[in-house]
Structure 1
Amino acid sequence: MQTITPNLWFNGDAAEAAEFYADAFPHGRVVSTVHYPTENLPDFQKEMAGKPLAVDVDLGGLVITLINAGPEFPINPAISFMLNFDPLVEDDARGSLDRLWAALSAGGQELMALGEYPFSARYGWVQDRYGVNWQLMMTNPGGEQRPFVIPSLMFCGAAQNRAAEAREFYTSVFPSSRTGTVAEYPEQTGPASAGAVMFSDFMLENQWFAAMDSGAEQDFSFTEGVSLAVACEDQAEIDRLWEALSSVPEAEQCGWCKDRFGVSWQIVPANMADLMQRPDAYQKMLAMTKIEIDGF
């Protein structure tokens, strides 16, 4: 069962984007759609009454949630998604990579051109038409197998050179965690100091994530545009993770918090969907900072 779900903030077009991803990805599909209440919404959300609130999309092993909201939190490259095309898993891995690259590039922007690099025979980084960032890569068939989709955190701006610290922190907070590959910069590379993380991956709750320190100056860092929602079994787990992760009091709202690196998290009960079916649940949630299950 997936415990940590990336949430992406869309400016009113989440349903459209969900259909796009379901069509573009080889095994993509829309899983579910939750709608805004039809009444008693706060003034800033009244125009959203009855519209999709969140759409879950399975991209081939990882479910992501597309939040349908306003323009408050544009997505940026600080959190991207690595897509691993493994020749041992798929006969036409290169063809699949190229077809998905073409779909994601249409109306988007290439940040690293598709081609051969020292770390991969075929790799490219693209920001799609909705602002979501994807790294498509042919994997080394001789290495340890990784899932198709891996969320990747780039530590830059205010979080520059903190990737190793973050990896150690996250693996200490979450059970069923371990570190995988770690590669360091051998010398100063742009803002990345010698010994900073050129690439690393690690497992949290049996899910793979990647992290790196940027080797180029960036004018952005982590925002609420991409957050990580953690499904908790009970109030005790919510309390523990909230205590560990929340470091910015002014960012606490509706189960959202922000950690010491600026990464946004949503610490929510695993049965949140059921809780939201209770009378006035939406209004009760809006009044909360940390989620209190008994408050529903």
Structure 2
Amino acid sequence: MKNISTFLWFDDQAEEAAAFYTSLFPDSRITRVTRYGEAGPGVPGSVMTVDFVLAGRPYVALNGGPEFTFTEAVSLQVECDDQREVDELWAKLTADGGEPGPCGWLKDRYGFSWQITPRVLLDLVGGEDRARADRVMATMLRMQKLEIQPLLDAAAG
């Protein structure tokens, strides 16, 4: 089977976005940049696609023009080990025009949605103790950026 890559459509910020994203995560790099030729539809010589690896996974960013924009229907979830990691990614992704959203979701400066999720949350809501999971979920639903200690406090009852 061939690789499956996530394909992201930008207006004209594909290279800038790929450089930003690859600066945030280890095992990330830009692997190829292609340019529009005389056949178009972009300006000859301008960036058409940027292939990049983000935390070991392949992505392609396209400068396709303003016809399509991102929605929350597609997002990337980042599982974080601790509050420091949550805080750092949240700050970087919401900087320069990004927007915080509910329950650990945010939009970055390009309008792309991310879920910055402490790994412990997944364990707390996924366990068999449904009363604990409900307390944690109720606490999480009141947050924007997720805070681990209140989630743990809710789990403890």
Runs of 4+ in 1 over 6 A off after TM superposition: none
Q: When the two structures are superposed, what TM-score results if normalisation uses the length of structure 1?
A: 0.45
List aligned pairs for 1:261-272, cutoff 5 A. Answer: 261-272=110-121
1:76-122 superposed Cα distances (whole Å, 9 cap, x missing partner) = xxxxxxxxx44xxxxxxxxxxxxxxxxxxxxxxxxxxxxxxxxxxxx
Q: 1: CA distance between counterparts of 2:106 and 2:15?
A: 21
2:72 to 224, 245, 249: 224
Q: 1: CA distance between counterparts of 2:43 and 2:139?
A: 46
Which residue of the partner structure matches residue 287 of structure 1? 142
The answer as to whether partners of 2:36 and 2:48 remain within 8 angstroms in 1 is yes
Amino acid at match of 1:166: A
Residues 1:151 and 2:6 aligned together: yes
The answer as to whether partners of 2:5 and 2:59 remain within 8 angstroms in 1 is yes
List aligned pairs for 1:1-296, cutoff 5 A. Answer: 85-86=1-2, 148-155=3-10, 160-187=11-38, 189-190=40-41, 192-214=42-64, 218=67, 220-246=68-94, 247-249=97-99, 251-276=100-125, 277=127, 278=132, 280-296=135-151
Amino acid at match of 2:83: Q
Count how many residue pairs are aligned between Structure 1 and Structure 2.
143
Q: 1: CA distance between counterparts of 2:54 and 2:76?
A: 12
Q: Secondary structure, in 3 states, of the residue corresponding to 1:243?
A: helix
The structure carrying a bigger helix percent of its residues is 2
The structure carrying a bigger strand percent of its residues is 1
Amino acid at match of 1:266: Q
Any stretches of 5+ residues in structure 1 without a counterpart?
1-84, 87-147
Q: 2: CA distance between counterparts of 1:243 and 1:290?
A: 10
1:123-155 superposed Cα distances (whole Å, 9 cap, x missing partner) = xxxxxxxxxxxxxxxxxxxxxxxxx22111011
Amino acid at match of 1:186: G
Amino acid at match of 1:242: W
Q: Compare CA radii of gyration and give the structure with the larger one.
A: 1
Q: 1: CA distance between counterparts of 2:107 and 2:29?
A: 23
Q: Secondary structure, in 3 states, of the residue corresponding to 2:5?
A: strand
RMSD of aligned residue pairs (Cα, Å): 1.9
The answer as to whether partners of 1:199 and 1:212 remain within 8 angstroms in 2 is yes
Which residue of the partner structure matches residue 99 of structure 1? none
Q: 2: CA distance between counterparts of 1:217 and 1:238?
A: 31
Q: 2: CA distance between counterparts of 1:240 and 1:153?
A: 24
Q: 1: CA distance between counterparts of 2:124 and 2:149?
A: 10
